[in-house]
Protein backbone atom coordinates (compact mmCIF):
# COMPACT_ATOMS: atom_id res chain seq x y z
CA UNK A 1 0.00 0.00 0.00
CA UNK A 2 1.01 3.63 -0.43
CA UNK A 3 1.72 4.21 3.24
CA UNK A 4 4.26 1.40 3.03
CA UNK A 5 6.32 3.57 0.68
CA UNK A 6 9.09 5.26 2.71
CA UNK A 7 8.32 8.93 3.29
CA UNK A 8 11.32 10.13 1.29
CA UNK A 9 10.03 8.23 -1.79
CA UNK A 10 6.52 9.69 -1.77
CA UNK A 11 7.03 11.77 -4.89
CA UNK A 12 4.47 11.66 -7.69
CA UNK A 13 6.94 11.70 -10.59
CA UNK A 14 8.87 8.75 -9.17
CA UNK A 15 5.67 6.75 -8.68
CA UNK A 16 4.55 7.46 -12.26
CA UNK A 17 7.82 6.05 -13.60
CA UNK A 18 7.64 3.01 -11.32
CA UNK A 19 4.04 2.15 -12.28
CA UNK A 20 4.79 2.49 -15.99
CA UNK A 21 7.59 -0.04 -15.57
CA UNK A 22 5.51 -2.33 -13.39
CA UNK A 23 2.22 -2.37 -15.33
CA UNK A 24 3.53 -1.55 -18.84
CA UNK A 25 0.95 -2.57 -21.46
CA UNK A 26 -2.00 -2.91 -19.09
CA UNK A 27 -4.90 -0.55 -19.88
CA UNK A 28 -4.82 2.51 -17.63
CA UNK A 29 -6.68 5.62 -18.80
CA UNK A 30 -9.71 5.93 -21.05
CA UNK A 31 -10.68 9.49 -21.98
CA UNK A 32 -12.01 11.12 -25.12
CA UNK A 33 -12.84 7.75 -26.64
CA UNK A 34 -9.30 6.36 -26.43
CA UNK A 35 -7.64 3.95 -24.01
CA UNK A 36 -3.99 4.53 -23.01
CA UNK A 37 -1.76 1.89 -21.44
CA UNK A 38 0.55 2.70 -18.54
CA UNK A 39 3.47 2.77 -20.94
CA UNK A 40 1.72 5.12 -23.37
CA UNK A 41 0.72 7.48 -20.56
CA UNK A 42 4.29 7.60 -19.33
CA UNK A 43 5.87 8.05 -22.77
CA UNK A 44 3.47 10.83 -23.80
CA UNK A 45 4.02 12.57 -20.47
CA UNK A 46 7.77 12.25 -20.90
CA UNK A 47 7.59 13.70 -24.43
CA UNK A 48 5.63 16.72 -23.21
CA UNK A 49 7.92 17.12 -20.19
CA UNK A 50 10.90 17.39 -22.54
CA UNK A 51 9.10 20.13 -24.43
CA UNK A 52 8.30 22.02 -21.25
CA UNK A 53 11.88 21.63 -20.09
CA UNK A 54 13.05 23.15 -23.38
CA UNK A 55 10.83 26.14 -22.52
CA UNK A 56 12.75 26.45 -19.28
CA UNK A 57 10.13 25.11 -16.89
CA UNK A 58 12.05 24.56 -13.67
CA UNK A 59 11.39 22.58 -10.47
CA UNK A 60 8.91 24.42 -8.29
CA UNK A 61 7.75 26.75 -11.07
CA UNK A 62 3.95 27.24 -11.12
CA UNK A 63 2.29 26.44 -14.44
CA UNK A 64 -1.41 27.15 -15.03
CA UNK A 65 -3.46 24.22 -16.33
CA UNK A 66 -6.84 25.31 -17.72
CA UNK A 67 -8.30 22.34 -19.57
CA UNK A 68 -11.50 20.34 -19.57
CA UNK A 69 -11.37 16.59 -18.97
CA UNK A 70 -9.00 15.30 -21.62
CA UNK A 71 -5.86 13.30 -22.23
CA UNK A 72 -4.00 16.61 -22.56
CA UNK A 73 -4.93 17.53 -18.99
CA UNK A 74 -3.68 14.24 -17.56
CA UNK A 75 -0.45 14.15 -19.55
CA UNK A 76 0.31 17.85 -18.96
CA UNK A 77 -0.17 17.27 -15.24
CA UNK A 78 2.03 14.16 -15.33
CA UNK A 79 4.70 16.08 -17.26
CA UNK A 80 4.74 18.73 -14.53
CA UNK A 81 5.09 15.95 -11.95
CA UNK A 82 8.13 14.59 -13.80
CA UNK A 83 9.67 18.08 -13.84
CA UNK A 84 8.76 18.63 -10.16
CA UNK A 85 7.04 21.82 -11.28
CA UNK A 86 3.88 23.05 -9.57
CA UNK A 87 0.55 22.36 -11.24
CA UNK A 88 -2.04 25.15 -10.82
CA UNK A 89 -5.43 23.78 -11.98
CA UNK A 90 -7.81 26.55 -13.08
CA UNK A 91 -11.58 26.26 -13.09
CA UNK A 92 -12.59 26.27 -16.76
CA UNK A 93 -15.59 28.48 -15.99
CA UNK A 94 -13.36 31.35 -14.86
CA UNK A 95 -13.42 34.46 -17.01
CA UNK A 96 -12.52 38.12 -16.62
CA UNK A 97 -11.60 39.21 -13.11
CA UNK A 98 -11.97 35.74 -11.60
CA UNK A 99 -9.40 34.38 -14.04
CA UNK A 100 -7.20 37.46 -13.76
CA UNK A 101 -7.05 37.08 -9.99
CA UNK A 102 -5.57 33.56 -10.19
CA UNK A 103 -3.17 34.57 -12.97
CA UNK A 104 -2.00 37.61 -11.02
CA UNK A 105 -1.76 35.87 -7.67
CA UNK A 106 0.29 32.87 -8.78
CA UNK A 107 2.45 34.91 -11.21
CA UNK A 108 2.89 32.07 -13.69
CA UNK A 109 4.52 32.72 -17.06
CA UNK A 110 2.97 29.70 -18.84
CA UNK A 111 -0.62 28.51 -19.20
CA UNK A 112 -1.67 25.23 -20.84
CA UNK A 113 -5.17 25.37 -22.29
CA UNK A 114 -7.35 24.33 -25.26
CA UNK A 115 -8.56 26.21 -28.29
CA UNK A 116 -12.08 26.62 -26.88
CA UNK A 117 -10.81 28.12 -23.60
CA UNK A 118 -7.99 30.22 -25.04
CA UNK A 119 -10.21 33.29 -25.70
CA UNK A 120 -10.79 33.74 -21.97
CA UNK A 121 -7.05 34.04 -21.45
CA UNK A 122 -6.39 36.14 -24.54
CA UNK A 123 -9.16 38.48 -23.42
CA UNK A 124 -7.25 39.52 -20.31
CA UNK A 125 -5.70 42.98 -20.41
CA UNK A 126 -1.95 43.47 -20.27
CA UNK A 127 -2.25 44.43 -16.61
CA UNK A 128 -4.36 41.37 -15.84
CA UNK A 129 -1.95 39.02 -17.60
CA UNK A 130 0.89 40.15 -15.37
CA UNK A 131 3.87 37.84 -15.90
CA UNK A 132 2.00 35.48 -18.23
CA UNK A 133 3.87 35.32 -21.55
CA UNK A 134 3.18 31.93 -23.14
CA UNK A 135 -0.01 30.01 -23.94
CA UNK A 136 0.24 26.36 -24.96
CA UNK A 137 -2.93 25.38 -26.84
CA UNK A 138 -4.28 21.92 -27.66
CA UNK A 139 -6.82 20.82 -30.25
CA UNK A 140 -6.48 23.60 -32.79
CA UNK A 141 -5.15 27.06 -33.50
CA UNK A 142 -6.04 29.87 -31.12
CA UNK A 143 -7.02 33.29 -32.41
CA UNK A 144 -4.93 36.46 -32.13
CA UNK A 145 -3.33 37.02 -28.76
CA UNK A 146 -0.71 39.22 -27.16
CA UNK A 147 0.79 36.04 -25.72
CA UNK A 148 3.23 33.74 -27.48
CA UNK A 149 1.12 30.81 -28.69
CA UNK A 150 2.51 27.30 -29.02
CA UNK A 151 0.69 24.17 -30.14
CA UNK A 152 0.52 21.43 -27.50
CA UNK A 153 1.42 18.83 -30.10
CA UNK A 154 4.50 20.78 -31.25
CA UNK A 155 6.05 20.50 -27.79
CA UNK A 156 6.14 16.70 -27.96
CA UNK A 157 9.79 15.57 -28.04
CA UNK A 158 9.64 11.82 -28.42
CA UNK A 159 13.35 11.03 -28.12
CA UNK A 160 15.96 11.83 -25.55
CA UNK A 161 16.86 11.02 -21.99
CA UNK A 162 13.96 10.56 -19.58
CA UNK A 163 13.01 13.63 -17.55
CA UNK A 164 13.09 13.00 -13.81
CA UNK A 165 13.73 16.00 -11.60
CA UNK A 166 14.98 15.49 -8.07
CA UNK A 167 12.08 16.01 -5.68
CA UNK A 168 11.16 15.78 -2.00
CA UNK A 169 7.80 14.67 -0.57
CA UNK A 170 7.42 18.11 0.97
CA UNK A 171 7.77 19.88 -2.40
CA UNK A 172 4.56 21.48 -3.61
CA UNK A 173 2.68 19.42 -6.19
CA UNK A 174 -0.28 21.78 -6.58
CA UNK A 175 -1.56 25.23 -5.81
CA UNK A 176 -5.33 24.73 -5.72
CA UNK A 177 -7.53 27.81 -5.57
CA UNK A 178 -10.51 27.38 -3.30
CA UNK A 179 -12.98 29.97 -2.08
CA UNK A 180 -13.59 30.47 1.62
CA UNK A 181 -16.30 32.46 3.34
CA UNK A 182 -14.82 35.93 2.90
CA UNK A 183 -12.14 37.60 0.83
CA UNK A 184 -10.67 36.47 -2.48
CA UNK A 185 -9.91 32.86 -3.35
CA UNK A 186 -6.92 31.34 -1.60
CA UNK A 187 -4.30 29.16 -3.24
CA UNK A 188 -3.81 26.04 -1.13
CA UNK A 189 -0.23 24.74 -1.31
CA UNK A 190 -0.50 20.95 -1.55
CA UNK A 191 2.71 18.89 -1.18
CA UNK A 192 3.30 15.52 -2.85
CA UNK A 193 2.94 13.64 0.43
CA UNK A 194 -0.52 15.13 1.08
CA UNK A 195 -1.73 13.93 -2.30
CA UNK A 196 -0.54 10.42 -1.48
CA UNK A 197 -2.35 10.51 1.85
CA UNK A 198 -5.58 11.40 0.04
CA UNK A 199 -5.16 8.50 -2.35
CA UNK A 200 -4.52 6.02 0.45
CA UNK A 201 -7.56 7.17 2.41
CA UNK A 202 -9.75 6.94 -0.69
CA UNK A 203 -8.53 3.42 -1.51
CA UNK A 204 -9.35 2.31 2.03
CA UNK A 205 -12.73 4.09 2.06
CA UNK A 206 -14.00 2.33 -1.08
CA UNK A 207 -12.10 -0.94 -0.72
CA UNK A 208 -10.44 -0.45 -4.10
CA UNK A 209 -8.27 -3.21 -5.57
CA UNK A 210 -6.34 -3.61 -8.86
CA UNK A 211 -9.37 -5.45 -10.28
CA UNK A 212 -11.59 -2.37 -9.95
CA UNK A 213 -12.38 0.09 -12.74
CA UNK A 214 -13.16 3.61 -11.60
CA UNK A 215 -15.41 6.04 -13.47
CA UNK A 216 -15.36 9.79 -12.89
CA UNK A 217 -17.67 12.37 -14.50
CA UNK A 218 -16.21 15.19 -12.38
CA UNK A 219 -13.79 17.90 -13.64
CA UNK A 220 -10.06 17.29 -13.40
CA UNK A 221 -9.48 20.84 -12.20
CA UNK A 222 -10.92 19.62 -8.89
CA UNK A 223 -9.17 17.08 -6.70
CA UNK A 224 -11.86 14.41 -6.86
CA UNK A 225 -11.07 13.20 -10.38
CA UNK A 226 -7.31 13.59 -9.88
CA UNK A 227 -6.65 12.21 -6.40
CA UNK A 228 -9.70 9.95 -6.14
CA UNK A 229 -9.83 8.51 -9.64
CA UNK A 230 -6.71 8.88 -11.81
CA UNK A 231 -4.11 8.45 -9.07
CA UNK A 232 -5.71 5.46 -7.28
CA UNK A 233 -5.81 3.67 -10.64
CA UNK A 234 -2.19 4.62 -11.28
CA UNK A 235 -1.00 3.39 -7.89
CA UNK A 236 -2.92 0.10 -7.98
CA UNK A 237 -2.48 -0.76 -11.66
CA UNK A 238 -6.23 -0.42 -12.19
CA UNK A 239 -8.26 1.29 -14.91
CA UNK A 240 -9.88 4.74 -14.87
CA UNK A 241 -12.50 6.15 -17.25
CA UNK A 242 -13.02 9.92 -17.39
CA UNK A 243 -16.22 11.39 -18.81
CA UNK A 244 -16.32 14.86 -20.30
CA UNK A 245 -18.95 15.84 -17.73
CA UNK A 246 -21.76 14.43 -15.61
CA UNK A 247 -24.96 13.60 -17.48
CA UNK A 248 -27.96 12.37 -15.52
CA UNK A 249 -29.55 10.89 -18.63
CA UNK A 250 -26.50 8.87 -19.67
CA UNK A 251 -24.79 8.17 -16.32
CA UNK A 252 -25.76 4.51 -15.97
CA UNK A 253 -25.08 3.82 -19.65
CA UNK A 254 -21.68 5.48 -19.23
CA UNK A 255 -20.71 3.32 -16.27
CA UNK A 256 -21.94 0.22 -18.10
CA UNK A 257 -19.84 1.08 -21.14
CA UNK A 258 -16.85 1.65 -18.87
CA UNK A 259 -17.48 -1.65 -17.06
CA UNK A 260 -16.95 0.46 -13.92
CA UNK A 261 -17.14 -0.87 -10.38
CA UNK A 262 -16.50 2.44 -8.57
CA UNK A 263 -17.70 5.95 -9.39
CA UNK A 264 -16.82 9.33 -7.97
CA UNK A 265 -19.68 11.66 -7.18
CA UNK A 266 -20.65 14.78 -5.24
CA UNK A 267 -23.53 15.17 -2.81
CA UNK A 268 -25.97 16.52 -5.43
CA UNK A 269 -25.58 13.72 -7.99
CA UNK A 270 -27.36 10.80 -6.22
CA UNK A 271 -30.54 12.86 -5.60
CA UNK A 272 -30.55 13.84 -9.28
CA UNK A 273 -30.22 10.20 -10.36
CA UNK A 274 -32.83 9.13 -7.84
CA UNK A 275 -35.33 11.68 -9.17
CA UNK A 276 -35.29 10.13 -12.64
CA UNK A 277 -37.95 7.56 -13.63
CA UNK A 278 -37.37 3.94 -12.70
CA UNK A 279 -36.14 1.72 -15.52
CA UNK A 280 -35.35 -1.95 -15.98
CA UNK A 281 -31.67 -0.93 -16.23
CA UNK A 282 -31.45 0.64 -12.77
CA UNK A 283 -29.34 -2.31 -11.58
CA UNK A 284 -27.88 -3.23 -14.95
CA UNK A 285 -24.33 -2.20 -14.11
CA UNK A 286 -21.34 -3.32 -12.02
CA UNK A 287 -20.89 -0.23 -9.84
CA UNK A 288 -20.66 -1.34 -6.23
CA UNK A 289 -19.70 1.94 -4.55
CA UNK A 290 -19.99 5.71 -5.14
CA UNK A 291 -17.82 8.24 -3.28
CA UNK A 292 -18.47 10.92 -1.80
CA UNK A 293 -22.20 11.05 -1.02
CA UNK A 294 -24.66 11.14 1.85
CA UNK A 295 -26.02 7.77 2.87
CA UNK A 296 -29.38 7.03 1.24
CA UNK A 297 -30.82 3.56 1.76
CA UNK A 298 -33.55 4.06 -0.85
CA UNK A 299 -30.95 4.95 -3.46
CA UNK A 300 -28.82 1.97 -2.49
CA UNK A 301 -31.76 -0.44 -2.67
CA UNK A 302 -32.90 0.86 -6.05
CA UNK A 303 -29.52 0.95 -7.78
CA UNK A 304 -27.63 -1.71 -5.84
CA UNK A 305 -24.82 0.70 -4.95
CA UNK A 306 -23.18 1.49 -1.61
CA UNK A 307 -22.85 5.25 -0.98
CA UNK A 308 -19.70 6.18 0.93
CA UNK A 309 -19.41 9.42 2.87
CA UNK A 310 -16.26 11.05 4.26
CA UNK A 311 -15.22 14.52 5.38
CA UNK A 312 -12.64 16.45 3.43
CA UNK A 313 -11.46 19.83 2.25
CA UNK A 314 -8.59 20.93 0.05
CA UNK A 315 -6.48 22.06 2.98
CA UNK A 316 -6.56 18.73 4.84
CA UNK A 317 -7.75 16.23 2.20
CA UNK A 318 -9.69 13.38 3.87
CA UNK A 319 -9.01 13.30 7.62
CA UNK A 320 -12.34 11.70 8.57
CA UNK A 321 -13.61 8.51 6.92
CA UNK A 322 -14.27 4.81 7.51
CA UNK A 323 -12.61 1.73 6.09
CA UNK A 324 -14.89 -0.02 3.60
CA UNK A 325 -17.39 -1.57 4.21
CA UNK A 326 -17.72 -0.19 7.75
CA UNK A 327 -20.02 2.77 8.37
CA UNK A 328 -22.54 4.40 10.67
CA UNK A 329 -25.49 5.82 8.76
CA UNK A 330 -25.32 9.60 8.49
CA UNK A 331 -21.76 9.80 9.78
CA UNK A 332 -18.71 11.04 7.89
CA UNK A 333 -16.59 8.57 9.81
CA UNK A 334 -13.81 8.74 12.38
CA UNK A 335 -10.52 10.66 12.27
CA UNK A 336 -7.73 8.56 10.79
CA UNK A 337 -4.90 7.33 13.00
CA UNK A 338 -2.71 10.08 11.52
CA UNK A 339 -5.03 12.85 12.79
CA UNK A 340 -6.09 14.55 15.99
CA UNK A 341 -9.55 16.14 15.99
CA UNK A 342 -11.46 18.33 18.43
CA UNK A 343 -14.80 20.15 18.43
CA UNK A 344 -14.91 23.55 20.13
CA UNK A 345 -17.43 26.28 20.89
CA UNK A 346 -17.12 30.00 20.09
CA UNK A 347 -14.67 30.45 22.96
CA UNK A 348 -12.39 27.67 21.76
CA UNK A 349 -13.44 25.26 24.52
CA UNK A 350 -14.08 21.60 23.80
CA UNK A 351 -17.75 20.63 23.54
CA UNK A 352 -19.13 17.38 24.99
CA UNK A 353 -20.10 14.40 22.86
CA UNK A 354 -23.39 15.01 21.11
CA UNK A 355 -22.94 18.80 20.99
CA UNK A 356 -22.15 20.76 17.84
CA UNK A 357 -18.81 22.55 17.58
CA UNK A 358 -16.27 23.75 15.06
CA UNK A 359 -13.98 21.01 13.79
CA UNK A 360 -10.29 21.56 14.58
CA UNK A 361 -7.63 19.27 13.15
CA UNK A 362 -3.90 18.63 13.30
CA UNK A 363 -1.77 15.83 11.82
CA UNK A 364 0.35 13.43 13.86
CA UNK A 365 2.84 13.02 10.99
CA UNK A 366 4.47 15.47 8.58
CA UNK A 367 3.21 16.15 5.09
CA UNK A 368 -0.45 15.26 5.58
CA UNK A 369 -1.96 18.69 4.97
CA UNK A 370 -1.35 21.95 3.17
CA UNK A 371 1.78 24.02 3.64
CA UNK A 372 -0.36 27.14 3.91
CA UNK A 373 -2.12 29.60 1.64
CA UNK A 374 -0.03 30.90 -1.26
CA UNK A 375 0.95 34.56 -0.80
CA UNK A 376 -1.34 34.84 2.23
CA UNK A 377 0.67 34.51 5.46
CA UNK A 378 -1.99 36.24 7.57
CA UNK A 379 -4.72 33.87 6.37
CA UNK A 380 -2.39 30.94 7.05
CA UNK A 381 -1.68 32.10 10.60
CA UNK A 382 -5.37 32.68 11.23
CA UNK A 383 -6.28 29.18 10.03
CA UNK A 384 -3.65 27.60 12.32
CA UNK A 385 -4.33 29.66 15.45
CA UNK A 386 -3.86 27.86 18.76
CA UNK A 387 -1.75 25.15 17.05
CA UNK A 388 -4.87 23.67 15.42
CA UNK A 389 -6.23 24.01 11.91
CA UNK A 390 -9.66 25.64 12.08
CA UNK A 391 -11.89 24.16 9.38
CA UNK A 392 -14.83 26.56 9.81
CA UNK A 393 -17.16 23.54 9.59
CA UNK A 394 -19.54 22.39 12.30
CA UNK A 395 -19.76 18.77 13.39
CA UNK A 396 -20.93 16.68 16.31
CA UNK A 397 -19.39 13.48 17.57
CA UNK A 398 -21.23 10.56 19.10
CA UNK A 399 -20.17 8.47 22.07
CA UNK A 400 -18.83 5.89 19.61
CA UNK A 401 -16.40 8.42 18.10
CA UNK A 402 -18.18 8.87 14.76
CA UNK A 403 -18.40 12.42 13.42
CA UNK A 404 -21.54 13.89 11.84
CA UNK A 405 -21.43 16.97 9.62
CA UNK A 406 -23.64 19.82 10.92
CA UNK A 407 -23.12 22.74 8.52
CA UNK A 408 -20.82 25.72 7.96
CA UNK A 409 -19.88 28.37 10.46
CA UNK A 410 -19.60 31.31 8.12
CA UNK A 411 -21.05 32.54 4.89
CA UNK A 412 -19.24 30.20 2.57
CA UNK A 413 -21.59 29.14 -0.19
CA UNK A 414 -21.46 25.72 -1.82
CA UNK A 415 -23.21 25.27 -5.14
CA UNK A 416 -22.95 22.48 -7.70
CA UNK A 417 -19.95 21.06 -5.88
CA UNK A 418 -18.11 24.42 -5.93
CA UNK A 419 -17.19 26.63 -3.00
CA UNK A 420 -18.13 30.26 -3.66
CA UNK A 421 -16.77 33.34 -1.95
CA UNK A 422 -19.64 35.76 -1.32
CA UNK A 423 -17.08 38.54 -1.33
CA UNK A 424 -16.01 37.80 -4.90
CA UNK A 425 -19.58 37.86 -6.22
CA UNK A 426 -20.21 41.13 -4.36
CA UNK A 427 -17.12 42.76 -5.87
CA UNK A 428 -18.31 41.99 -9.40
CA UNK A 429 -21.94 42.93 -8.74
CA UNK A 430 -20.95 46.24 -7.13
CA UNK A 431 -19.36 47.31 -10.40
CA UNK A 432 -22.75 47.64 -12.04
CA UNK A 433 -23.35 51.39 -12.43
CA UNK A 434 -26.83 51.19 -10.87
CA UNK A 435 -25.82 49.30 -7.72
CA UNK A 436 -24.98 51.34 -4.62
CA UNK A 437 -24.14 48.36 -2.44
CA UNK A 438 -25.01 44.70 -2.21
CA UNK A 439 -24.70 41.56 -0.14
CA UNK A 440 -24.50 37.95 -1.27
CA UNK A 441 -25.79 35.12 0.88
CA UNK A 442 -26.21 31.39 0.59
CA UNK A 443 -29.69 29.96 1.12
CA UNK A 444 -30.22 26.23 1.64
CA UNK A 445 -31.00 24.26 -1.50
CA UNK A 446 -30.99 20.79 0.06
CA UNK A 447 -28.31 18.10 0.26
CA UNK A 448 -25.88 20.54 1.91
CA UNK A 449 -25.90 22.71 -1.21
CA UNK A 450 -26.82 26.38 -1.44
CA UNK A 451 -28.35 28.78 -3.89
CA UNK A 452 -26.77 32.21 -4.34
CA UNK A 453 -28.98 35.10 -3.13
CA UNK A 454 -28.08 38.69 -4.05
CA UNK A 455 -29.60 41.66 -2.21
CA UNK A 456 -28.85 45.04 -3.78
CA UNK A 457 -29.56 48.70 -3.22
CA UNK A 458 -30.10 50.63 -6.48
CA UNK A 459 -29.26 54.24 -7.25
CA UNK A 460 -32.59 54.64 -9.03
CA UNK A 461 -35.41 52.32 -8.09
CA UNK A 462 -36.62 51.57 -11.63
CA UNK A 463 -33.29 51.80 -13.44
CA UNK A 464 -32.85 48.06 -13.91
CA UNK A 465 -34.91 44.92 -13.42
CA UNK A 466 -33.76 41.83 -11.61
CA UNK A 467 -33.77 39.90 -14.88
CA UNK A 468 -31.57 42.52 -16.54
CA UNK A 469 -29.13 42.44 -13.62
CA UNK A 470 -29.07 38.65 -13.79
CA UNK A 471 -28.15 38.79 -17.49
CA UNK A 472 -25.38 41.28 -16.74
CA UNK A 473 -23.98 39.13 -13.93
CA UNK A 474 -24.10 36.03 -16.14
CA UNK A 475 -21.71 37.78 -18.54
CA UNK A 476 -19.24 38.49 -15.73
CA UNK A 477 -19.30 35.39 -13.53
CA UNK A 478 -18.80 31.64 -13.91
CA UNK A 479 -22.17 29.97 -14.30
CA UNK A 480 -22.12 28.33 -10.88
CA UNK A 481 -21.60 31.74 -9.19
CA UNK A 482 -24.46 33.60 -10.89
CA UNK A 483 -27.17 34.37 -8.27
CA UNK A 484 -30.37 32.41 -8.58
CA UNK A 485 -32.26 34.91 -6.43
CA UNK A 486 -32.11 38.71 -6.71
CA UNK A 487 -33.83 41.13 -4.36
CA UNK A 488 -33.77 44.94 -4.29
CA UNK A 489 -34.02 46.85 -1.01
CA UNK A 490 -33.88 50.49 -0.01
CA UNK A 491 -31.04 49.84 2.45
CA UNK A 492 -28.94 47.11 4.05
CA UNK A 493 -28.65 46.70 7.84
CA UNK A 494 -25.28 47.84 9.23
CA UNK A 495 -23.23 47.19 12.33
CA UNK A 496 -21.89 49.98 14.52
CA UNK A 497 -18.71 49.94 12.43
CA UNK A 498 -20.76 50.44 9.23
CA UNK A 499 -20.28 46.86 8.01
CA UNK A 500 -23.19 45.00 6.44
CA UNK A 501 -24.89 42.95 9.13
CA UNK A 502 -25.05 39.59 7.44
CA UNK A 503 -26.65 37.78 10.36
CA UNK A 504 -29.57 40.23 10.25
CA UNK A 505 -29.95 39.66 6.51
CA UNK A 506 -29.90 35.90 6.93
CA UNK A 507 -32.52 36.15 9.67
CA UNK A 508 -35.10 38.00 7.56
CA UNK A 509 -34.28 36.77 4.04
CA UNK A 510 -37.15 34.97 2.37
CA UNK A 511 -37.07 33.73 -1.19
CA UNK A 512 -40.67 34.85 -1.69
CA UNK A 513 -39.32 38.42 -1.68
CA UNK A 514 -36.84 37.71 -4.45
CA UNK A 515 -36.87 37.33 -8.19
CA UNK A 516 -36.03 33.73 -9.09
CA UNK A 517 -34.06 33.05 -12.27
CA UNK A 518 -35.75 29.64 -12.50
CA UNK A 519 -39.17 31.33 -12.46
CA UNK A 520 -38.34 34.65 -14.17
CA UNK A 521 -41.91 35.68 -14.94
CA UNK A 522 -43.26 35.21 -11.44
CA UNK A 523 -43.62 38.65 -9.85
CA UNK A 524 -41.99 38.74 -6.37
CA UNK A 525 -42.66 41.22 -3.62
CA UNK A 526 -40.10 43.97 -3.16
CA UNK A 527 -38.68 43.93 -6.69
CA UNK A 528 -39.20 46.18 -9.70
CA UNK A 529 -41.10 44.53 -12.52
CA UNK A 530 -39.02 41.86 -14.19
CA UNK A 531 -37.91 42.32 -17.76
CA UNK A 532 -35.95 40.39 -20.32
pLDDT of residue 491: 86
CA-to-CA dists, residue 367 to 167, 192, 383, angstroms: 14, 8, 17
For residue 378, give every residue at least 6 positions away whose Cβ sits within 8 Å of its Cβ, in sequence order, or none.
none
User: Is 170 within 8 Å of 367 (Cβ atoms)?
Assistant: yes
- Alpha-carbon span 373 to 319, nearest angstrom: 19
User: Is 174 within 8 Å of 80 (Cβ atoms)?
Assistant: no
Helix/strand/coil (H, E, C) string of 375-421? CCHHHHHHHCHHHCEEEEEEEEECCCCCEEEEEECCCCEEECCEEEC
β-pair partners for 418? 415
- Alpha-carbon span 353 to 367, nearest angstrom: 29
The domain ranges of the chain are 38-191, 312-408, 413-516
CA-to-CA dists, residue 175 to 10, 102, 170, 186, angstroms: 18, 10, 13, 9
- Weakest mean pLDDT among 218-222, 245-249, 495-499: 495-499
Tell me the pLDDT of the chain averaged across its residues.
90
The string of DSSP codes covering 266-298 is: -TTHHHHHHHSPP-TTTT-S---EEES----HH
- Weakest mean pLDDT among 129-143, 353-367, 443-457: 443-457
Q: What's the pLDDT tens digit per position in 278-314? A: 999 999 999 999 999 989 999 999 999 999 999 999 9
- Alpha-carbon span 158 to 180, nearest angstrom: 42
| Residue 394, Cβ density class (10 Å: 0-12 exposed, 13-18 middle, ≥19 buried) | middle
Q: Nearest-CA neighbor of 84 among 110, 62, 55, 104? A: 62
CATH class of 413-516: alpha beta
- Alpha-carbon span 190 to 368, nearest angstrom: 9
pLDDT band per the 50, 70, 90 thresholds, residue 3: low
H/E element, 468: helix 466-474
User: Is 240 within 8 Å of 30 (Cβ atoms)?
Assistant: yes
Strands 110-114 and 62-66: parallel
Domain 38-191, what fold? Rossmann fold (3.40.50)
Most confident of 110-124, 406-420, 456-470, 506-520: 110-124
Q: Does domain 312-408 have CATH number 2.30.38.10?
A: yes
- DSSP category for residue 227: I
Q: Measure the CA angle with vertex 67, ends 248 and 289; round to 5°.
A: 40
H/E element, 47: helix 38-54
pLDDT of residue 412: 62
The 10 Å CB-count burial string (b at 16+, else e) for 80-96 is bbbbbbbbbbbbbbbbb
Q: Measure the CA angle with vertex 272, ends 266 and 472; round to 5°.
A: 80
User: What percent of the chain lies above the pLDDT cut of 70?
Assistant: 93
Q: What's the pLDDT tens digit per position in 12-64? A: 999 999 999 999 999 999 999 999 999 999 999 999 999 999 999 999 999 99
- Alpha-carbon span 358 to 344, nearest angstrom: 5
pLDDT of residue 531: 34
pLDDT band per the 50, 70, 90 thresholds, residue 407: confident
Q: What is the mean pLDDT of residues 183-205?
A: 92
pLDDT of residue 133: 96
Most confident of 134-138, 424-428, 496-500: 134-138
- Alpha-carbon span 342 to 360, nearest angstrom: 5
User: Is 332 within 8 Å of 340 (Cβ atoms)?
Assistant: no
Q: What's the pLDDT tens digit per position in 261-287? A: 999 998 888 988 988 899 999 999 999
Q: Measure the CA angle with vertex 429, ends 425 and 431; round to 5°.
A: 130
- Alpha-carbon span 155 to 135, nearest angstrom: 12
Q: Nearest-CA neighbor of 440 among 406, 407, 491, 484? A: 484
- DSSP category for residue 514: S
- DSSP category for residue 351: P
Q: What's the pLDDT tens digit per position in 66-108? A: 999 999 999 999 999 999 999 999 999 999 998 999 999 999 9
Distance of CA 68 to the CA centre of its chain: 13
CA-to-CA dists, residue 307 to 204, 313, 315, angstroms: 14, 19, 24
Inform me whether the pLDDT recorded for 181 exceeds 60. Answer: no
Inform me whether the pLDDT recorded for 383 exceeds 90. Answer: yes
- Alpha-carbon span 37 to 20, nearest angstrom: 9
pLDDT of residue 346: 81
Q: What is the mean pLDDT of residues 334-351?
A: 94
User: Is 188 within 8 Å of 178 (Cβ atoms)?
Assistant: yes
User: Is 180 within 8 Å of 411 (Cβ atoms)?
Assistant: no
| Residue 431, Cβ density class (10 Å: 0-12 exposed, 13-18 middle, ≥19 buried) | exposed
Amino acid sequence: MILDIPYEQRVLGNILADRASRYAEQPFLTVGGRCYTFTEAYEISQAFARGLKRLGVAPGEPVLLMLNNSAEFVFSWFALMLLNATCVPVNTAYVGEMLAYVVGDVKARIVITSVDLAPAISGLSAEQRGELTTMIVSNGCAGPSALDILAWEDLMITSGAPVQASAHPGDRAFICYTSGSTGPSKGVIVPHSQVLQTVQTFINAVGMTPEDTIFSPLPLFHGMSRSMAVLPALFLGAQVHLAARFSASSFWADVRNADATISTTIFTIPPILKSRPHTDDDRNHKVRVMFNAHHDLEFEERFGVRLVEAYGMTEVSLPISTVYPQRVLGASGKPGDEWEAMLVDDRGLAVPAGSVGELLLRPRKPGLMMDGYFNKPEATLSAFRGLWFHTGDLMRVGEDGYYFYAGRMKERIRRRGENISAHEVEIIAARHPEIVECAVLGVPAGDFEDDVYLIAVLRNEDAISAAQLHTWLASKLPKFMVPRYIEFRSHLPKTGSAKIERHALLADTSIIDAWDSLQPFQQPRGCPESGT
